[in-house]
Each structure stands twice: as C-alpha cells, then as structure tokens.
C-alpha cells in the first residue's frame, strides 16, 4: 500500500491500482470510519461505513482491502 496523504483521522493511498480514502467520522457514532475505494476507471469498489467493530485506522485499512476484494 502506497501512502499519498495521511493525518490524524484521515488516510489516502493506493493499493493494486485502486485509491483508498478513509476518514474517521463522529457524525453519528464515535470511532466510525467512512471508507471509499475507487478503481482506476472511477468505479466504486467500496463506499460506506466500516463495521462497528473496526476501531483503529489499521483495521479500517484491512477492511477496505478485504471489502473491495483487492
């Protein structure tokens, strides 16, 4: 996984040609991650909240890769 941008509560990178963007949000529940995985052609492979049991950015990255079938 290649890191393009990283800060507290935010990650953007690439993996096998897909762009992964993860943002920690507290809009509805604390410690939830919103994940977007976009393929090279613009198609969405994953777009939504991570499951509630995902509580760290590391787990969110793994879930993004697994959820997008990368």
- Count the domains in the chain: 1
Residue range of the domain that includes 41: 2-67
Q: What is the pLDDT of residues 4-49, one digit of tens each?
A: 999 999 999 999 999 999 999 877 667 789 999 999 999 999 999 9
Nearest 5°: phi and psi at 65?
-65, -45
- The reported pLDDT for the residue numbered 30 is 72
Using CA atoms of 14, 30, 67, 18 in order, give the dihedral in degrees to the nearest 10.
Answer: -20
* 51: DSSP letter: P
The closest of 18, 1, 21 to 10, measured between CA atoms, is 21
What is the pLDDT, as a whole number, of residue 1?
86
**Structure confidence at residue 26 (pLDDT):** 78
CA nearest to 35, candidates 50, 25, 45, 52:
50
pLDDT of residue 31: 72
* Alpha helices, H only, the chain: 57-67
């Amino acid at each position: 996984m290649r890191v393009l941008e990283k800060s507290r509560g935010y990650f953007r990178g690439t993996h096998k040609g897909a762009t992964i963007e993860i943002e920690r949000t507290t809009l509805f529940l604390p410690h939830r991650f919103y994940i977007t995985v976009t393929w090279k052609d613009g198609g969405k492979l994953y777009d939504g909240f991570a499951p509630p049991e995902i509580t760290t950015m590391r787990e969110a990255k793994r879930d993004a890769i697994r959820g997008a079938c990368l």
